[in-house]
Structures are given as C-alpha cells and as structure tokens.
Amino acid sequence: MLNHNLFKILVFFCIFASCSAVTLAQESSGDDKQKLQVDDPQEAEEQETENEVSVFQGEEVRISFNNYELKDLFVAIFEDGRLETLNKINEELFDTYIDKCSACTAFFKKLSRTSSKVLDRQIKKTEKDVGLLKAKWKETLHLAEDATDEEMLAAEKELDPNSDDFELIQKIKKRLSRLQTDVKEREPNISVVQGSIDLGRRFSESLHAEKILEPLDIYMNAITTHEGLTQGEKEYFELFGYYLNQPMEPVRKELKKKIQAGQIVLPKKPENELNFSS
C-alpha cells in the first residue's frame, strides 16, 4: 500500500488543475545565493524534443522525449539524493532489456543515458560550486587561496558580527552545508512529482502509447524491488512510479478492453529477465 494516500491524491489533482506552463521553483530560502552554474555549450545545441526508435521483430516504435524536461526531472531526483541508485537501475535495465520488447530499447536507452549524463554533470557541478564558495569565503576574509581551514576560522573570529562580510560568510557556510550534506529524501520533491507526471503524460500522448506500457511496467517493478534497496529508497521510488504511471492509466484501461475483446494478443514476456527481487 502506498503511504500518505490522501496527500498523493491532493497533490495529483492540484497539479492537473494548475496551468502546465507554471514553473515550480526549487527552494531558494531567501539567502540571495549566487548562481554558480556555467552554461554548457553542448547542452544549448541539443534539440528540445527527440524521438528514440526501437525496431523489434520488424516493428518500429517511436517514443518522443522532451530532453529539457527529462533532464530537469533527473536533476530534481539528484537533489533528493536518489539519482545514483536510480541511474544504477536504469543502466541495468537497458543492458537487460535491449531488444526484448517492442519499445524496450528506446525506453531504457533514453532513461539510462540521460540519467547517467545528469548524474555525472551534477556531481561535477557540486564539486565546482563547493570550490567557488570556499574561494569566495577566503576572498571575503582577505586570505590567500591556499589558506588553511584553521586560518579561515581564526580570521573569521576577528570580524565584526554586524558587518556585511560576516553576514556574507554565514550565507556561504549555510550554502556549503547544504551542498556537502548527503540528503536522502523519503518523498519526491514537488519538481519530481511534476516532472514524473509530465513524462507520463508525454508517454500517454505518444502514437505508440500502448507499446510503452510494457517497459513502463518493467520499470515500475524494478525501481521498487531491486536487490539492495533501502526502505527509504523503496518508499521514494514507489511514489515516483505512482506519479509517472498516472497519465498512462487511461491507456492501460483501453488496452485491457481491446484484449478482452480479442483485438490484441499479448506478447510473450522477455526471456532472461533480470531478477530484481532475489
């Protein structure tokens, strides 16, 4: 059973009732922190929308992804401290299910490559941000770049607690603490909720929406039963999968009707499936 059912239902309907163009901002905490991210020229050249193609038993399936939305989703999951585990699962699924179902290759290829790229970029960005903040701390104290932590603390004690420099250093230390704390959230933040629903909605609007159900079901099972998951990870990914799946429920119901009417025969399950629960 999902935890906090009432909370999930309220959040779900609030999001669908809101305008999809509204941007949900991450916490800024009012500390006027500097934006330290440097634009990636390769990212600027990337197309916003991209089709991933699977060819299975002579059948071609296309899945449309919004690159920016998908990356934003994985960045939000990174901020919750859950992307490293999710990326591991994504990569294992791609290795296991490539060419195993009509939409599997396109589905898992895009998720695994994007999550891996985002994880690598965010780790490097965090390291860079920490370095820049420490440099700003030393600069504010009028110390050399190679100043030790002891020298920084000694110089800080000499500052007037009412000075602008002292206030700036407190903000720097607060920001550093956030970057260096190993956060592991048990529930997805609102950007993950919105991003999951947006991705699921894009799946549901796909020309091959019914074909996407198979890898989606494999995915939702894997992220909650993978060997070694902590209880916190299971709870987090259960909610992530719940929101991802919601826009696909009408597609699922329509497919069920077609199967019951004999219009569609279900394919055999992929062979050599990865055992996530053992």
Residue pLDDT, tens place only, 173-208: 888 777 777 789 999 999 999 999 999 999 999 989
CA distance 227 to 141: 49
Instruction: Tell me the C-alpha distance between 9 and 2, whole Å.
Output: 11
Split at pLDDT 50, 70, 90, the class of 57 is low
pLDDT at 88: 97
Nearest to residue 8, comparing CAs of 211, 238, 278, 182?
238
Residue 34 has pLDDT above 50, yes or no: no
With a pLDDT cut of 70, the percent of the chain lying above it is 76
CB 76 within 8 A of CB 193: no
Cross-strand partners of 62: 53
The phi, psi pair for 273, rounded to 5°, reads: -65, 145
What is the average per-residue pLDDT within 83-96?
96
pLDDT > 80? residue 97: yes
How far apart (Å, rounded) are the C-alpha atoms in residues 266 and 252?
13
Please, which pLDDT band fits residue 78 given cuts at 50, 70 and 90?
Answer: very high
- Report the pLDDT averaged over residues 41-65: 70
% of the chain with per-residue pLDDT over 90: 44
In this prediction, residue 102 carries a pLDDT of: 85
Element housing 56 (H / E)? strand 49-56
The winner for highest mean pLDDT among 2-16, 162-176, 199-213 is 199-213
- Residues 197/244, Cβ–Cβ less than 8 Å: yes
- Tell me, what's the pLDDT at 265? 65
Pairing of strands 59-66, 49-56: antiparallel
Distance CA 82, CA 250 (A): 29
223 pLDDT band, cuts 50/70/90, is very high
d(CA 104, CA 272): 14
The mean of the pLDDT values for the chain is 81
Find the mean pLDDT for residues 23-41.
Answer: 40
Give the C-alpha separation, 113 to 87, whole Å. 9
In angstroms, the CA 114 to CA 109 distance is 8
pTM of the model: 0.73
The per-residue pLDDT for range 226-275, each reduced to its tens digit, is 999 999 999 999 999 999 999 999 999 998 888 887 776 665 655 545 44
User: Is the confidence at residue 28, as pLDDT, over 60?
Assistant: no
